[in-house]
Homo-oligomer: A and B are copies of this chain.
Amino acid sequence: MKMLKELAALVGGTVVGDGEVEIHRVAGIDGAAPGDITFLSNPRYQPLLQTTRASAVMVKPGVEAAGVNLLVCPNPYLAFAKVLTALHVTPPEFRGVMEGAWVDPEATLGERVTVYPGCFVGKHVKIGSGTTLYPGVVLYDSVEVGEGCLIHAGVVVREGCRIGNRVIIQPKAVVGSDGFGFAPDGEGYYKIPQVGIVVVEDDVEIGANTCLDRAALGVTSVGRGCKIDNLVQVAHNVKIGTDTIIVAQVGIAGSTEIGRHCTLGGQVGVAGHIKIGDNVMAGAQSGIAGSLDSNGVYSGSPAIPHRDWLRASKNFAKLPEMRKEISRLKRQLEELQELIKEG
């Protein structure tokens, strides 16, 4: 529980109404009850302000509502996230190394590290203080995991890979699987050993069942603050800049570099050995076949500027009609030519 004025201090907002009201929970605006705080995300829901039973509502500056306690904040979406954290998130319980966990004697664990049953922590592994390994996490030899990380159930980090601080890895993600490299040897393929690693910097989140392949030589890297969704494939030697967002089921082929503050929509494919600048956005399902400068928005497969793609896509269904029209024009033109010749 927090008083409304405490939440205001937390989010840098101001209270209009009763700052002492007790807030227990965050709820959607229509389902909220007394003790709840809710938020007005969309101005068209403003009439709901008059009927909500919530004890307080987070709003943008300029919104007014008599008889309702308001928490006015410049960025209500961010405020919502912070209030949600304050009211609903409890730090994971500290339970130490639990029975049924295997921790190699040559591993080094910081203070207040929790290792659940079924985990395997290999030789020379280092785990920073306050980190939690949920059940079934496997850290191969010489892995390093920073402080304050949440490594969810069944995550595997293979040998030598390095995870920064405050990293969250959702269940079953794989860090450091072999890159996909084979040299044709005449008949079949000879495996190119993948002797590099993966480096995941601070404050990254990695989604469930996502795969980050280790480099052939050197490093596959995910920059500070990146957020990677579920079922994403990051191939060997890829480098991803800081604060880039990668939505579910994206695939990035080998040795490609992606800049800072990019957003790749769901199911995007990015070719190998190319370079994407900063602040690039790629629409869902697009296929990026070549390098792209900074600051563009792209869609389609192969990807083209988003506006061009939108316009072209609208005409796609007209193709059969266009083709008929061309035939018709051709015939009419021939008739006309005939007519003129004869004339």
Complex contacts, A332 vs chain B, CB 8 Å: 333, 337
Complex contacts, A285 vs chain B, CB 8 Å: 269, 287, 301
A26–B218 alpha-carbon span in the complex (Å): 10
Contact with B along A37-73 (1 / 0, CB 8 A): 0000000000000000000000000000000000000
From B207, B227, B267, B302, contact of A313 by CB (8 A): B302
A1 contacts partner chain B, Cβ-Cβ < 8 Å: no
A3 contacts partner chain B, Cβ-Cβ < 8 Å: no
Would you call A271 and B284 a contact (CB within 8 A)? yes
Given A182-B245, A319-B315, check contact A81 B191 (CB 8 Å). Answer: yes
Complex contacts, A168 vs chain B, CB 8 Å: 178, 191
Would you call B188 and A243 a contact (CB within 8 A)? yes
A323–B132 alpha-carbon span in the complex (Å): 60
Name the interface residues of A185-203: CB closer than 8 Å to any CB of B.
185, 187-193, 195, 203
Would you call B251 and A251 a contact (CB within 8 A)? no
Surface stretch bound by B, among A14-22, A84-92, A107-115, A274-282:
A84-92
A131 contacts partner chain B, Cβ-Cβ < 8 Å: no
Would you call B170 and A177 a contact (CB within 8 A)? yes
A233–B251 alpha-carbon span in the complex (Å): 14
- Nearest-CB distance from A303 to chain B (Å)? 11
A10 contacts partner chain B, Cβ-Cβ < 8 Å: no
From B136, B177, B208, B251, contact of A136 by CB (8 A): B136
Number of A interface residues at 8 Å Cβ cutoff, please give it. Answer: 113
Would you call A174 and B171 a contact (CB within 8 A)? yes
Complex contacts, A209 vs chain B, CB 8 Å: 172, 174, 209, 211, 231
Would you call A156 and B171 a contact (CB within 8 A)? yes
A308 contacts partner chain B, Cβ-Cβ < 8 Å: yes
From B81, B116, B224, B317, contact of A190 by CB (8 A): B81
Given A192-B81, A193-B88, check contact A243 B322 (CB 8 Å). Answer: no
A206–B100 alpha-carbon span in the complex (Å): 29
- Nearest-CB distance from A207 to chain B (Å)? 7
Would you call B312 and A195 a contact (CB within 8 A)? no
Would you call A225 and B188 a contact (CB within 8 A)? yes
Q: 27 A-B pairs, CB-CB below 8 angstroms?
A: A81-B182, A82-B190, A84-B192, A84-B193, A88-B193, A99-B102, A117-B120, A136-B136, A140-B153, A152-B177, A170-B177, A174-B208, A177-B208, A177-B230, A178-B205, A182-B205, A182-B245, A187-B243, A188-B203, A188-B224, A191-B205, A209-B211, A211-B248, A231-B251, A251-B266, A271-B284, A332-B333
Counting from the closest, the 10 A-B pairs by CB-CB distance are: A120-B135, A177-B208, A315-B319, A138-B153, A156-B171, A188-B225, A81-B192, A233-B248, A78-B183, A102-B117
Supply 12 further A-B pairs (C-beta < 8 A) apart from A102-B135, A230-B233, A249-B249: A84-B217, A136-B136, A136-B138, A170-B174, A177-B208, A180-B229, A180-B248, A249-B269, A251-B267, A269-B284, A315-B323, A322-B322
